[in-house]
Structure 1
Amino acid sequence: MVEATDHVADQVAQLNAARTLVLGDAALYPQIVNGVLPIVGAHARVELRRWGAEFLAEAFASPLLSAAQKEPMATAVLQTIRELSEVPDQDAAVMKGLVQAVASLYPPLFRHIVKHPQDSTSWENMNAIKLDILRRMDSFPYSVRISCVKFLQRVVQVQTAGPIADPRRPEQNETSLAIVPRSHPLLSIPNLEAESSGLLDRLLGVFQEETSDTLLVNATLNCLASLVRSRQSISNKIVNAVLDFYPTQHVRPPFTATVRVNVKSMERTARAFITNVMKKNPNHPLAGKMHMYFERLMQSRLETTEDASRKRGFPSEPTDGLDNAKRVRLDAMTPPLLRIPPLPPGPLTYAQLFTLTEDIGLSSFDVKQIPADLVVKIAIPLLAQVNPSTLTQAVDAIRARLQQVTKQQNLLRQQQQQAAIGADEDDDYEPEYQPMDVSDNVSQEASAVAAEVADLQPDLVSLGPFVLPQPPPLTEEEAGEIGRSAVARVFGMLNMSETSSASAKGKKQQQLGFSRLAGSTFDRDAWVVLLTRLATRAPAGLEGDDSKTKGGSSSRRQTAISDSIRETLYRYILEDFRARLNIGIAWLNEEWYNDRIQMKAAAESRNDEQGKDDESPPIVALHYDTWVIRLLDGILPYLDSRDIKVLVRFLSEIPDVTIAVTQRVASLARDPERVNLCVQALMYLVMFRPPAREICLNTLEDVYQTYEESRPAAGKVLTRWRPEKMQSLSAQSSAETNGDGGAAPAAVAPA
């Protein structure tokens, strides 16, 4: 037995020599750790196991070793630590060292698993060790439980997403859940987050227990400081848990000196924790609650403990309701009588109602100049020192004043109501009274003055209905001016709605389509529809009557207003025709529709009057052909070769393409730079507007024959749609070229 003890002592001495060696050179830690693992295993003596657990905790907590050096060491010692932790009836010192070692090696092992997802054995060993510690944590001695608190803090810190300093250098980022890839085979992010949340609740549960242990509370507070600093996602939860913890509420009698020391220790640690949080973040959202927590800690001293340590004080005898003889025997002073000044006359303010002092300087002092928090701090000690009898007298005086003011106001209100009722009753009876001492001259002068006043002032109080006189009729010029001003106001609304729609361009708007009403909304489209229908449908049927009756005043007025709207619309569109092209298209569609409706109505009315045999066209004022040519003449001079979309959209959406329209488009070929614009627009109409195809092809032939620059582009279109005509045109152009002495051009081959 003695030889075994000496052998163990020799081994411990050799191990201490190895520890001294690595303390001098930290680079030898991997070699020494691998060498001592077989010696301090699960089957070794308890002395060797204690030394091995302490050495492992010291090695992985050493700041001289980097995280990259600790990763291979962590995987190498996991199996040994698992075997040591599973030894039955393990020594407390050994278990304390093992828990400290696991708490230190958990971050480098987690990073190793992130980098090497195929190392499932190491992760299984780590999970087994973690589950064993969590299962037996509450049954460990206090020294081991404090180490378990540190282990829980490390697990929560690693399994919570932390900040990423540089995504390009993941090896320099802090070990946290943020470095775990989404598709990791061993590490499931939702499971790890759930586990860390549960462990954090278990860590904070020490603040909610009925009786708190001082060592565990202080250890938990010290560990939570790093979590608050490094993990913003859970910092508010931790701070709120600490702010709800008051040490004086978690102790039970008897209040001994040890209990008082423990409470002061917990208060000091909690105060240091909150102070550290406020220093790191002065603008913390819970700063106000933290200040209240400090004041509550100051007020929640163990009053019962302090009172228990004092001697018994004087008996508290009531002084109110005692006779004078007993007052003398108890040396009780009679409470002073409070002098209540009378209320000033006239209307009162709240300040006068509640003022009980006659000191002018004190009553005129503005309390609003003092900060609210300072007022609270001053008022609480003052209220604690106020004599209850004096306070009762002051409250009774204010109550009496308030009752007196209320009675006076009710009495004054009743008098006003009675006076109003009496005045109404007096108005019902007005006797005619003529004093006898008034002379006839005075009555005659009064009647003369009354007659003069009646002549000067109209009789506005005569009985009967009052009817305003009819306004004078408007002349034709006045009516036209009023109509033009109304049109100008409507166009002002159009400009305003255009500005508002431009500011709200990013918002999604509902398209109402063809079934919309002109006044359904107040946007630009609603005003455009209203204007176009005022110009086209309001004077419908009046132009024909004007031609028959040679111009009545009403007809000319309405026609002038509609023409004014058309002219204003024309100028408004030309100001920015690219952005307002849709307004012009909508206007021309309304004009074309109105022309067709008027022609149909005129034909039906003429057939009803003259019979159905008359096939001559009805006489109707048409506007579409006039305004489409005017609008096209205003747009074409400003088009360039890049405006093909603008021209094609206009020609494709107007309701009718006439010969005059195609001739205006053909005029673009005069400019060599806009020849392609002309040909492409006509080609679009040929392809997608079959009713206008023949008109456009005829126009293309004229362009081909008139402008030589257009022949390459126009020839391709004519070759496709009119190949026979194209062959004759090519032969004719070749003959003309040969007759002029030039070389004959090659015939255009059909496409």
Structure 2
Amino acid sequence: MNPLGQLESARSLALGDGRYYPTIIPGVLPIIGPNANASLDTRRWGADFLAETFASPTWPSDAKEPSCLTVLPTLRAYLDDNDTGVIKSAVQAAASIYPLVYRHTISSHDSPNWQHMLAIKSNILRRMDTAPPGVRVCCVKFVQQVVLVQTPGQIADPRVRSPRLPPPAGNDLSSVQRPEQNDISLALVPRDHNLLSHSQLEAEASGLLDRLLDIVHGDHSDALLVTATLNALGMLIPRRPTIASKIIGSILNFNALKLANSPMTPKNKVIMKSMERTTRALLVNVMKRNPDNPFNTRIHQYLERMHHTRVDVFDESKRKRPAPVEQADGMDPSKRQRVVPIVPITQNVPPLPPGPVSYRELFTLDPNGGPAFDVQAFQDPEQLLSILVPVLQSIDATKLGDAINAVRARYLALQKAPPQPAPGVSAPLNDEEEEYEPDFEPEDNEQIVNQLDSAPPEDMIPDRVTNAPLVPYKLPQAPPLTKEEVQKYGDGTIRRVFGMLSSLEEPSSRSKAPKRGFNRLAASSYDRDSWVTILARLATRASAGLDDPDENTKSESGNGEKGNFAISESIRNALHNYVMYDWKKRIDIGISWLNEEWYNDRVQSNIMNKGSKFAANGNGSSPSVYKGNYRRCALRLLNAIIAFAEGTDKVLLRFMSEIPELDREILMRMKKMAEDPERIDLAIMVLQYLYMFRPPVREICVDVLVDMWQTNERAKPAASKILKRWKPEVLSQGNAVKMETANGSLEVKAI
């Protein structure tokens, strides 16, 4: 197999998972190393692989540190190569490795590897001014990393130490720093390090920063190098506040449009636009990162000044005097000479030909012009519209108006003209005119028979259109729908209504205006409450037959003959799901729905009682009892709310107080909810509120509370406080039972 193919396989494996890098690098170095006498393609691949490896974000920097020491001889050899591509990748790899070797040297005092790194740094810095443009850009990246790690970082916290630093000598806390996990700076270097001199590193970083700033203020012919330097400085500003003011002050003195004084060639325009956009993006980013930066005022003034300069340089419309604006109608009041307005020449429209006229002849104003294209050839109407609309927009408005008036005059003339006979039908003869019979020879019988055979049938001969009677057209009656189709279409309608209901805005607060009662118009305001009322009344009253006293309502388990009971249940299920989707905000919808159910049950019960009394007087049967839907729907909705309610949800209290009717089974749900220790207070609060403000259910509330006190040990303390006021005899009976139980147990022990 080709060696490059094997190397690419190993590279693909490492790109998929960064954990394979420590295993792949020792196997690749003998092939790409300086002692392998590798070919140019192999050396290029090796330099690219090393640059990609140590810049990979999937491989942690702590794991990169042991491996970077093994590639230092290889990088040092690559920098002496004659190929530009190898040198560029080697410089990029060195830029990624320098902070790792720097941190390793701080903690381990490893002199040989640091000497290798210093040799690589010297080689790169020598190339910075004389190398080809691509290599110089890579050198700028390396210098950026050197300045970054050899400059003091953020203010450190002496209370927390870095695990890589040695313990401080005595009580000296000056060398104890707290750098960020990935921030390698001069703050990591102790003052007494034997390999790294604190002052020399800081001075070298300052000198390299000056070299970067000299590139910005130097020759602007190489826009790629200047743009790369500006981007490198932009990364140093937020991470190194100690040198940020120096960098910003230097950039504010930078003139990105310096080449405007030279000949404005296309190359110079591209160079100036590139540097101006990079500078503007850099300064805007500085203002966004730190709105309280003291340089923001100067930056804003600099951006305004550069904007005006750019407009003056690149806006060519201001370099020439604009042409005078001519009057559209040829009349200028500022001129002294009198000008006669030009009268447009009206086109002569030819008259219509005699006889029946087609639409084409009606709209054709120029018979010699002919159509520009045949519209019948277009199969797609959208394609035809895309052509016709621009054509109509390009037509002169005056000419178009004249043409429309000409067609209108033709049409009015046709309406006033007498009706023309249809083709094949002779015109009626005038009584006053004499019949004209031309001279002809009599035909024989054979000719008459041939003419009759070739003539169309009598039913195909058209009558005169003016005398034809107009027959009203009726659409055929649609086939009747089955029960399954009725249910399907009803469910689809319900889903569409609830989809529209969900798109309406939720009311921010309760309306201050009082709402009308059951006799209000449901859809008078077209808001969410109106649609909810319509849906609730469709579910409760659609199948009730309130206007027909002879029609008895069906039970909830029965099936209506008209199929609307299933639709009513579908609406009830949809209302239940809509309320439970956000029950805290939609509790008012649930209350309104249950009110409609209760009202319908009362009306139906009265109707059935009247019908039952009439039947009892006639047949002697007992009155029937109507089983409504309110209790079933209320229990279902209450069970769903209790499943999600928490101990702090006061919405449940509002729901229990506003539904129209309460019974023992509904209130027993509070006892079930009190089995949860976190919701005991809420359950007792509901019962207490109903006892105080709904007198008809006081006895039921007390009975539920007594049952809760007897069966729920955790609810006894809270229930006892209320039972002392409402039913104290229960507590006394309970204490007596406890005393008897205690005495009995003592007697048993005595025996």
TM-score, normalised relative to structure 2: 0.40
Q: Which has the larger radius of gyration?
A: 1
